[in-house]
Chain A
Amino acid sequence: MRVLIMKLRNIIYSLLLLTASVAQAQTVPNENEDKWEKWSSRDIHNSGWIIRAGYVIGGTSPIPLPKEIRSINEFKPLGGVTVGADYYHMFGKRLGIQFGMHLFFEGFHTSADVKNYRMAITQGNSYLSGYFTGTDVTNTKMVGVTLPVTATFRMSPRWNVSVGPFFTFVGKGTFDGEVYDNSEGIGYLREGDPTGPKIEITRKNPANYDFSSDMKHFYWGLEFLFEWKAMQHLNVFGGLDWSLSSIFPSDFETIPFKMYPVYAKIGLGYRL
Chain B
Amino acid sequence: MKQHFLPCLLLFLTSVSISSCIGNEPANAECDIEQAWIHVGDAERVKAVFYHAYDTLLTVSSTQTNIVFSTRSDQDAIISTVPLFLETTAGAKVFHVDNNGHEVSFKNGSAIDFSNSQPVNFRVRSEDGHFQRNYTIAVVPKREMPADPEFNFDNNFSLTTVKDGDIYPYYKWTEYGIDWWASGNAGYRLTGLKAQPMDYPTCPELNTGLGGKHCLKLTTRDTGSLGAMVGMRIAAGNLFSGTFDTQEALGNTLAATRMGLPYAHKPSRLTGYYKYVPGVKMQDRTGAEIKNEKDYPDIYCVVYRNTDEQGNPIQLDGSNILSSPEIVGIGRIKSSDIDVSGTQWVHFDLPVAYNATIERADVENYLYNTAIVFSSSIRGAEFIGAPGSTLWIDNVKLECEY
Q: Kindly state whether residue A197 has any CB partner on chain B within 8 Å.
A: yes
B132, B246, B251: which contacts A202 (Cβ < 8 A)? B251
Are B224 and A126 closer than 8 Å at their CB atoms?
yes
C-alpha spacing A126/B230, complex, angstroms:
13
Q: Kindly state whether residue B257 has any CB partner on chain A within 8 Å.
A: no
Q: Kindly state whether residue A64 has any CB partner on chain B within 8 Å.
A: yes
C-alpha spacing A115/B90, complex, angstroms:
13
A:191-208 near B, CB below 8 Å: 191-202, 204-208
B23, B249, B250: which contacts A65 (Cβ < 8 A)? B23
User: Across the two chains, which residue of chain B brings its CB closest to A181?
Assistant: B251
Are B163 and A197 closer than 8 Å at their CB atoms?
yes
Once A65-B22, A192-B163, A240-B10 are accepted as A-B contacts, the answer to whether A197 and B192 lie under 8 Å apart by CB is no
Are B62 and A125 closer than 8 Å at their CB atoms?
no
B191, B252, B253: which contacts A126 (Cβ < 8 A)? B191
Q: How many chain A residues have a CB neighbour from B under 8 Å?
A: 61
- Interchain nearest-CB distance for B355 vs A (Å): 33
Once A20-B3, A65-B22, A128-B190 are accepted as A-B contacts, the answer to whether A198 and B246 lie under 8 Å apart by CB is yes
- Interchain nearest-CB distance for B174 vs A (Å): 20
Are B226 and A238 closer than 8 Å at their CB atoms?
no
Interface segment, B12-20, B48-56, B301-309, B337-345? B12-20
Are A190 and B30 closer than 8 Å at their CB atoms?
yes
C-alpha spacing A214/B260, complex, angstroms:
45
Q: Kindly state whether residue A226 has any CB partner on chain B within 8 Å.
A: yes
Q: Kindly state whether residue A27 has any CB partner on chain B within 8 Å.
A: no
Q: Kindly state whether residue A119 has any CB partner on chain B within 8 Å.
A: no
Are B3 and A191 closer than 8 Å at their CB atoms?
no
Are B26 and A226 closer than 8 Å at their CB atoms?
no
- Interchain nearest-CB distance for B118 vs A (Å): 25
A:65-85 near B, CB below 8 Å: 65, 67-72
Q: Kindly state whether residue A41 has any CB partner on chain B within 8 Å.
A: no
A65, A71, A199, A226: which contacts B190 (Cβ < 8 A)? A199
A:91-137 near B, CB below 8 Å: 115-116, 121, 123-128, 131
User: Across the two chains, which residue of chain B brings its CB closest to A204?
Assistant: B251
Are B224 and A125 closer than 8 Å at their CB atoms?
yes
A1, A13, A161, A205: which contacts B250 (Cβ < 8 A)? A205
Chain A contacts for B133, CB-based, 8 A: 195
Q: Kindly state whether residue B229 has any CB partner on chain A within 8 Å.
A: yes
Are A121 and B11 closer than 8 Å at their CB atoms?
no
Chain B contacts for A39, CB-based, 8 A: none
C-alpha spacing A189/B192, complex, angstroms:
14
Once A194-B29, A196-B163 are accepted as A-B contacts, the answer to whether A209 and B229 lie under 8 Å apart by CB is yes
- Interchain nearest-CB distance for B70 vs A (Å): 24
Q: Kindly state whether residue B131 has any CB partner on chain A within 8 Å.
A: yes
Q: Kindly state whether residue A222 has any CB partner on chain B within 8 Å.
A: no
**Contact indicator per residue, chain B 154-182, by CB within 8 Å of chain A (1) or not (0):** 00000000110010000000000000000
Q: Kindly state whether residue B356 has any CB partner on chain A within 8 Å.
A: no
Once A68-B26, A205-B230, A226-B10 are accepted as A-B contacts, the answer to whether A124 and B224 lie under 8 Å apart by CB is yes
Chain A contacts for B62, CB-based, 8 A: 190, 196-198
C-alpha spacing A209/B29, complex, angstroms:
25
Are B22 and A125 closer than 8 Å at their CB atoms?
no
A:169-205 near B, CB below 8 Å: 188-202, 204-205
C-alpha spacing A201/B246, complex, angstroms:
11
B:176-230 near A, CB below 8 Å: 186, 190-194, 224-227, 229-230
C-alpha spacing A65/B8, complex, angstroms:
23
Q: Kindly state whether residue A88 has any CB partner on chain B within 8 Å.
A: no
Binding site for A on B (CB under 8 A): 3-4, 6-8, 10-12, 14-15, 18-19, 21-26, 28-32, 62-63, 126, 130-133, 162-163, 166, 186, 190-194, 224-227, 229-231, 246-253
Given contacts A5-B15, A126-B192, A205-B251, 13 further A-B contacts (CB under 8 A): A2-B15, A9-B15, A12-B8, A67-B25, A123-B226, A124-B225, A128-B191, A189-B250, A191-B162, A195-B32, A197-B62, A205-B253, A238-B10
Binding site for B on A (CB under 8 A): 1-2, 5-6, 8-9, 12-13, 16-17, 20, 64-65, 67-72, 115-116, 121, 123-128, 131, 155-156, 158-159, 161, 188-202, 204-209, 224, 226, 228, 238, 240, 264
Q: List 23 A-B contacts (CB under 8 A).
A: A5-B11, A5-B15, A12-B7, A65-B23, A71-B22, A115-B25, A126-B227, A127-B194, A128-B190, A188-B247, A192-B163, A194-B130, A197-B163, A199-B247, A200-B247, A200-B248, A200-B251, A205-B253, A206-B230, A238-B10, A238-B11, A240-B10, A264-B11
